[in-house]
Structure 1
Amino acid sequence: MDNKRKANESIELEAISTRGGPRRKITGKKTQGSVRAIDYYTQFGRLNACVAQHLLKRKHQIQFCIENSQPIPDHLLNVDHIIEQYLFHASNIKQRLSPESGALCAFGSNEFGMIAQREGVDERYRPALISSMKNQTLVQVQCGGQHSVCLTEDGNVSTWGCNDEGSLGSKLEDTAYAPIRVTQFLPSSEQGRVEGITDPVFTWRDFSNAKPEIKDPLEIKIDPKYEDTIIDVASGDTHCLALAASGRVYFWGSYKDVEGKNWADIQPSDDPRKVEDKDAKYFTGPKGKRFYPIHVSMLKHKVIAIACGFVHNAVIVEVNQGGVVRNKLVTWGMGEKGQLARPVFTPVKKTPEEIEQIPDEVLDSDRYVTFHVDKVESDYMPPKFANYSDGVDRHVEKVACGGYHTLVLAKSDKDGFVELFAAGLNNYGQLGISDGYSTKEERVKLSDKTALTKVDFFTKRGISISQIAAGEHHSLCVDASCRRLFAFGRSCSGQLGHTGECPKPGAFEVEPVEIFLEKDKENPIIEEISCGSFHSFVVTADGDVWSWGSGFHGQLGIGKLGESEDVVTLPTKADVLSGINKVRSKNNELQYQKAKVLKVAGGSQSSALIAMLK
């Protein structure tokens, strides 16, 4: 192959590899955390798609030669240069973006296997290694209500904990005291063509046509090469989301409404898997649970970021508007408290008068008949764009979901000021919006927000926010300098970290308060923040982790509290590896290894982290 052809082919490969949306600007400084991991897998996904497309083009050229009895040119049979180019680009991506990884640890309650320790272990008050993941390269971990999910560098997803609601993505376990693999990330043909998403090689429709007799999901075996590569995971109270390099999203588990009913994303019609229910032959429409990943085929745009609340989801999608790509927020799930930031029909349950009109035999045969199932299917489950209270469309930078509220960082134009917006439940001031009330007595009247509303506290002070996190009833954020930390919302479990005294029951702060990790000292660079239901975490640039809030079950990771104590009201540095990774030197003396925390996640009664051993 001559040099000109090699040069043209290299340009073609590079051009194809950049399709599917704008590439992030890569500088000498490596990006951090899950953003870096997402970039890494996205670039590899594009590179693989590029090579596949180029080889398919060659295949068609060869077929054309054969069909027309023409000799096949040597350059169509020689793939050495393509291999060289692939290895060159792969090495470049690896060098620039390869995410740091480390050992997976968990702490807190193990009542339902939430920290992946052996059955019989009740709690761990300091991080405990998850032994079955020792040889895995971990890049992400998230904790839900009574389950957790993690992601390895090669895209493998594992879950552990309670599976009553389908939270583990597998029907194999009722309760998993060790991580189990989640598989079958196979797209549906229903999504259709989406800008920036490569058409799948294989869909459920292909499989259904091939083996229509197989209905039990446990019997379906999918070759991993046909599955989407997962690059990020998120967890709600009893459900999970997974984001693929392709920009597709997968769901499993269920959403529980305020009445305790189970709802779920609607399974695509070409997906042949079925799970029987004790009270109905099969779950249909939005009813029930999903014990395996299903493709959220109703998403009509490429997704670049995902977040889960207790019973809702928020994702950032790329939308091409007149040749300009803007990021927008899309939400779905059981958003009965305004957290979807868009209009929905409420309440989901029918009124007593409506229920009285339902015949007894129908009530006995269908436990969902007392609910507006049609409204759940039409209003709640379809992913739709979120609204802003002032009607102005914005470019979304980041999203975080709390129990029943949603936080968004957005700006009005490319070079605009990044502002914080919030929607959803505001009963404890977790939105940071005071409604103009000046006294705490008046603030018991705080209203929920059904559209994204600006948090004026930061805008008025010229504070640009760069990081956000949300718990059940509280929120955290960090400014653009990555040193100023703010908290607002419920404080009665010490989750705000702003006072040395334990707040009274029901206490909250609607106006953001500034938090200092150490008294009278400027905070170090903050790499990441995370919220559990009633506790909080900070990871600093030097790899330290600080925690505060409710620690009754050990979910703070700082050791056992006093007999009469169950909360920590000020940030406390955790000795991550204390007591769990003592190693013996050659002279048989005990030594401690140090650790650099890369990722931390808070759940309800448990937490997890990924740490590099130094």
Structure 2
Amino acid sequence: MSKRKHSLSSQSGPSAKKPRVSLQRFTSRTEGTLLTLGQGDMGQLGLGEDIMERRRPAIVRELEDIPIKQVVCGGMHTVALTTEGKVYTFGCNDEGALGRTGDEALPGLVDLKGDVVQISAGDSHTGLLMADGSLLACGTFRDGNGIIGLTADTKKATVPTVIFPADCVRVSSGSDHMAVVKADGTLWTFGNAEQGQLGRVPTCFSMRGGRRGLKFLLEPHRVEMPRHRTVTDVYCGSFHTFAVVEHGTEVYVFGLNNYGQLGLGDVEMRNMPCRLENFPPADVSAKEHEPQFSGGQHHSLMLYGGRVYAFGRSDYGRLGLGGSDVEVTEMTQVPGLSNVSHLTTGSAVSLCCDADGKSLSWGMGTNNQLASEGEDDVDCPTAMIGKQIESRRVLAISGGGQHTALIVE
């Protein structure tokens, strides 16, 4: 029995020439030491098979002397990208998400030809954006009935497999889908479509592709953006997707919306891109930064101008708006946060760090993801605690299914 816990077809675009989207953003200046905390029963903390959980951030000793510039947490695995473009993985490998063999509870190097510039992770898969613009992935996608495969020809990829050979500039992963921005500003998706998260599959084809079959879902296809908008960034929640166009001029959303996590003011699912009408927020006088998004299982966060906005499911305190259990269907500013530089969500938690290197967390406390005083839920942003972060600046943070990873100075 598996130990997992269950919780290119090219389509021609418009004839008008698209502006190029650059990879430059991912020449990141972040460089630091990797810490993890939370549940580690699948090895996702990278601290060895004897460490089942950590309530406070702990240094991943195997990587202590290797500068890390990006980390992403999947459902039960972790992916770390070094400043040299190398990738280490650890955690559950039942379905090939680590892209390697060997000890799952300690970081292991993924064998790759070339440098990696961006990584992504879902429940059972990992995405690798290479410096040459190619996209590789390993693992598999699942739907409500089990495994559907990673590609039309691959049920489960245990080593990184080429999805796109060139021209990719952004990648993001939901629980069981991936979204890719290409250099010409087009958005491509593939994976599970049951909740509308691909933005291109009508309801009648959402269940394993209907009469069109799984190939319709697993072969990347272009998402038809309204008015042929140029996509410049993409962010996936567990079952929903945010597409940023024209460097933050507009935002389009699609996918599951049963708690208002799309921020559209209702709870109706969207199978196709729909403009986020209340963006940009009225309380921000000018675009200081492009927006960043992060989506958990049923909630979303947006970072804009140093401020954090939350919407979606509110129980367990995951929105940071107090103790209410009423869903929030429009973006609402989280009080007490300013100068925020990075944010992330786990399934039912939220975390961020600011320009001063202080990290805060809120949401469900039972998995010890928050580095808080106890295991109680936290309903407003609260400083994370722990010996390893009390004298270090937190540079980046990632939330997973039941664990958290930080990069500290």
TM-score, shorter chain, exceeding 0.5: yes
CA distance in 1, matches of 2:87, 2:295: 24
Conserved in 1, the CA contact under 8 Å of 2:193 and 2:217?
A: yes
Q: Deviations over 1:71-109 (max 9, x none)?
A: xxxxxxxxxxxxxxxxxxxxxxxxxxxx23111000000
Confirm or deny that 1:569 pairs with 2:390. Answer: no
Q: Aligned ranges for residues 200-211 of structure 1 at < 5 Å?
A: none
Partner SS, residue 231 of structure 1: strand
Confirm or deny that 1:516 pairs with 2:346. Answer: no
Partner SS, residue 278 of structure 2: helix
- Call closer, same or farther: CA 1:164–1:23 in 2, change over 3 Å: closer
Deviation at 1:469, TM superposition (A): 1.3
Q: Aligned ranges for residues 419-430 of structure 1 at < 5 Å?
A: 419-430=250-261
Percentage identity across paired residues of the two chains: 30
Q: Deviations over 1:524-567 (max 9, x none)?
A: 31111111111111110111111101121211122433xxx3x1
Q: Which has the higher strand share?
A: 2
Q: Aligned ranges for residues 441-480 of structure 1 at < 5 Å?
A: 446-459=267-280, 461=282, 466-479=291-304
1:332 corresponding residue in structure 2: 190
Q: Which has the higher helix share?
A: 1
Partner SS, residue 30 of structure 2: coil
Q: Deviations over 1:452-473 (max 9, x none)?
A: 1111122583855622111111
1:101 corresponding residue in structure 2: 31
Confirm or deny that 1:234 pairs with 2:120. Answer: yes
Match of 1:119 among 45, 49, 55: 49
Conserved in 2, the CA contact under 8 Å of 1:125 and 1:559?
A: no
Confirm or deny that 1:498 pairs with 2:321. Answer: yes
2:146 corresponding residue in structure 1: 260
Paired residues, number: 386
CA distance in 1, matches of 2:371, 2:148: 32
Conserved in 1, the CA contact under 8 Å of 2:76 and 2:92?
A: yes
- Call closer, same or farther: CA 1:488–1:23 in 2, change over 3 Å: closer
1:387 corresponding residue in structure 2: 224
Confirm or deny that 1:432 pairs with 2:263. Answer: yes
Deviation at 1:434, TM superposition (A): 2.3
Deviation at 1:338, TM superposition (A): 1.1
CA distance in 2, matches of 1:557, 1:386: 39
1:180 partner amino acid: G
Partner SS, residue 178 of structure 1: coil
- Call closer, same or farther: CA 1:456–1:118 in 2, change over 3 Å: same
Q: Aligned ranges for residues 168-187 of structure 1 at < 5 Å?
A: 168-173=98-103, 176-183=104-111, 185=112
Conserved in 1, the CA contact under 8 Å of 2:20 and 2:183?
A: no
CA distance in 1, matches of 2:145, 2:54: 33
CA distance in 2, matches of 1:454, 1:157: 35
Match of 1:405 among 237, 240, 252: 240
Conserved in 2, the CA contact under 8 Å of 1:304 and 1:315?
A: yes
Partner SS, residue 380 of structure 1: helix
* Cα RMSD after superposing both structures: 2.3
CA distance in 2, matches of 1:341, 1:22: 22
Runs (4 or more) in structure 1 with deviation over 4 Å come to: 21-24, 371-374, 462-465
Partner SS, residue 228 of structure 2: coil
Which is greater in Rg?
1
Match of 2:136 among 241, 246, 250: 250
Confirm or deny that 1:163 pairs with 2:96. Answer: no
Q: Aligned ranges for residues 131-150 of structure 1 at < 5 Å?
A: 131-150=61-80
Q: Aligned ranges for residues 336-351 of structure 1 at < 5 Å?
A: 336-343=194-201, 346-348=205-207
Gaps of 5+ in 2: 1-18
Deviation at 1:122, TM superposition (A): 2.3
Conserved in 1, the CA contact under 8 Å of 2:295 and 2:345?
A: yes
Deviation at 1:387, TM superposition (A): 2.4
Match of 1:602 among 386, 399, 404: 399
Conserved in 1, the CA contact under 8 Å of 2:79 and 2:88?
A: yes
Conserved in 2, the CA contact under 8 Å of 1:104 and 1:138?
A: yes
1:477 partner amino acid: M
Q: Which has the higher contact order (CA 8 A, sep 6+)?
A: 2
Partner SS, residue 106 of structure 2: strand
Partner SS, residue 316 of structure 2: coil
Q: Deviations over 1:239-284 (max 9, x none)?
A: 0000000000000011011112241124xxxxxxxxxxxxxxxxxx
